[in-house]
Amino acid sequence: MPDEQIDIYNEKGEIIGQGGKRESHFNASWHKVAHVWIYNSKGQILMQQRTVGNIYYSGLWDISAGGHVGVGEDLDISAARELEEEIGISVKGEELDKYKQIKLECYQPENNYKNREFVQLYFLKYDCDINELQLQESEVQAVKWIDLDTFIHELKDAKTKDLYVQHGDDYFNVVIGRLKELI
């Protein structure tokens, strides 16, 4: 399977070339991703569980939808594409609440995964029955609604924290702060 091509950036966010998505993680190359956080009118957020066997964060709970931005691809289009591909929600990029872009760096020594991303955060209010969502089996194993307060508690609790992809405290502070404003 060929490696999906993405733009590669320097630390200032300037394009310096193109490369493969998987390759970028082993070379610690800066690249862009779109993360979409869905919330509903009940004050819940939609979480996806990454498919067991996925090379990165296998079986962990994560953002509603998200992924890498392709070569020359618009961030808004990328975010909408990921929503459609991963959980079957079809919206236009301009319907999303485009919030902030933050830098994210993490390292997983067990698989030599070095992640250096410019993360564009999006939010979407969307009420739905999760049983009607169409999950991309290669990426998403399950979805669930979770109360924001429960999510916050589970991220802080040593017994449940490791059930989630760890994007870092700074990332979660921004996301939770915005969700508190919206919900």
Q: At what angle do helices 148-156 and 169-182 cross, to 10 degrees?
A: 160
Residue 28 region, left (φ>0) first, then alpha (ψ -120 to 50), else beta? left
The sign one gets for the Cα dihedral 25, 28, 33, 39 is positive
pTM for the structure as a whole: 0.93
The closest alpha carbon to 124, from 73, 164, 89, belongs to 89
How high is the pLDDT of residue 106? 81
Q: What is the CATH number of the domain that holds 145?
A: 3.90.79.10
The helix/strand count (H/E) of the chain reads as 4, 9
pLDDT of residue 136: 95
For residue 113, the model assigns a pLDDT of 73
Domains contained in the chain, number:
1
CA torsion sign for 30, 142, 51, 149 is positive
> What is the domain range of residue 176?
5-182
Of the candidates 11, 36, 165, which has an alpha carbon nearest to the alpha carbon of residue 90? Answer: 36
pLDDT at 56: 75
Which residue blocks in 9-95 are alpha helix, DSSP H?
Answer: 21-26, 75-87
Closest CA to 35 of 43, 27, 45: 45
Give me the count of residues in the chain. Answer: 183
Cα separation of 170 and 57, whole Å? 19
Q: Between the CA of residue 177 and those of 62, 148, 169, 170, 183, what are the distances in Å? A: 17, 11, 12, 11, 10
One pLDDT digit (tens) per residue for the chain, 183 residues: 567 899 999 999 999 999 998 888 778 889 999 999 999 999 999 999 999 988 778 899 999 999 999 999 999 999 999 999 999 999 998 999 999 999 998 877 666 778 899 999 999 999 999 999 999 999 999 999 999 999 999 999 999 999 999 888 899 999 999 999 999
